[in-house]
Structure 1
């Protein structure tokens, strides 16, 4: 008869309960450590998101203040650098490089890709595509005097078309249409650019002018199309109008089509004002 002799059996048995207790203790400590790390990470992420929202909010204000339509395709790192420079080094410092940064960020490759995207994804632009193609090509060739007046008129044409407006129009109707197109009720206002684009359009594009006095903005539709401003043939001015157009196009594409009839009625109310 074979006897299974295990001289350590009693010793092992004696350690069973303490080992379980130690394992349980270690397990609880590991869980606590994991919980702590998760909570810490969650707080860090939450803080970073709050900082990012603050930077986005500040960035939009800075861009409009400096005469640019804020655009969502700018690299986040560059966006945050602009905000930091503005806060620490001031407006003049940011002005010293902002034109060059925007031109580099939204160069020929970007514009060519946007043109392809418009053509492929936006059926409502079909009748305008020959003009838009010509404008982007003209911009890339440095023919800015041709681009700016052509696209300034397309902005309001696209907006009015989106609401299926018929008959005569006026500036009051256009402003109301802009308000309705760029409503922000369902958007995170810290991330959405709608409010700032609305402000930019009304304050910069629709800025008035008086003969014999300086024009307050380099993209004034009235001063340019009435033949008063003759200094608009610059790359940065052309790019500002293109970036604004791109934003308006995407806003139109995201419209809730079910609201168009009621919005159209609201716009037409302003016809006689």
Structure 2
């Protein structure tokens, strides 16, 4: 009985992780269905999640962190907002599978940033994994594309989004140690809203008057992908090692690619399949224990 009681939290954690990966894997599908400018879909993704968190956070009566942590988390929200803006925009130009695979290089840039900023020593496996992932990116883009230098702007946006997401992870990783999960999520999502709203206003984007289909996609993006997905993943992080979870999250690219076939009518090319395997395999090597 004791053994069974010890295993139950792990079973719940693995179940939550699977649910979380599935939820964030739906992000690209919802963005495609919404068919709105990247800044608009990004705004509603964090806004809907944030307004749901407000009453929850207030009932917890949790004290705000110090000014330094608020500023740090808010800066993370800035980079998260830019990540959403670029990645969502790329999804309207290139395929969901291709965009998600290219954007999943963020863990590699996190590793490089940790070495440069935090002076962490990286094992040879890191450099080997980095090389494999870069080769995978080139395979996804295709030989003809590279020869003609006709890289899709959507591809570049997806890669740029991975840089901003990596910056978000690097800047906020230390704040997480002293700030509870609910408060952390509330602050960075609120900051992202305050960044994306003026971007939308400055761009003259329409932020109201959408069709029912679009509103449903936006609600799904905010409640399922942003709120539900990350709450489930954060629950898993309370019972499983961060290294194991971070590697598992790479499965979102697989979820997006597979769901994109029946839901979006996308067809995976041979280059995308091989390149995707190389990218994910390289990132997996990077996060193997030394």
Shorter chain as normaliser: what TM range? under 0.3
TM-score with structure 2 setting the length:
0.26
Greater share of helix: 2
Over alpha carbons, which structure has the higher Rg?
A: 1
Higher RCO structure (Cα 8 Å, ≥6 apart): 2
TM-score with structure 1 setting the length:
0.27
